[in-house]
């Protein structure tokens, strides 16, 4: 698997970044501790 962006932490900033990137064609991986 290949990702364009890997976001570590699903806090407010991580979720905002993931949502913004979801509007693009970027492949995003969002990692959260214990998830």
Residue range 11-34, pLDDT digits in tens:
999 999 999 999 999 999 999 998
Residue range 1-14, pLDDT digits in tens:
899 999 999 999 99
Structure tokens at 30: 């969002």
Predicted pLDDT of residue 26: 95
* pTM of the predicted protein model: 0.81
Predicted pLDDT of residue 34: 87
Q: What is the CA radius of gyration of the chain?
A: 9
Predicted pLDDT of residue 1: 86
Predicted pLDDT of residue 27: 96
12 neighbors 34 (Cβ within 8 angstroms): no
Structure tokens at 19: 């949502």
- Written in H, E and C, the secondary structure of the chain is CCCCEEEECCCHHHHHHHHHHHCCCCCEEEECCCC
């Amino acid at each position: 698997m290949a990702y364009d962006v890997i976001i570590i932490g699903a806090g407010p900033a991580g979720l905002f970044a993931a949502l913004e990137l979801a509007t693009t064609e970027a492949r995003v991986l969002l990692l959260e501790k214990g998830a």
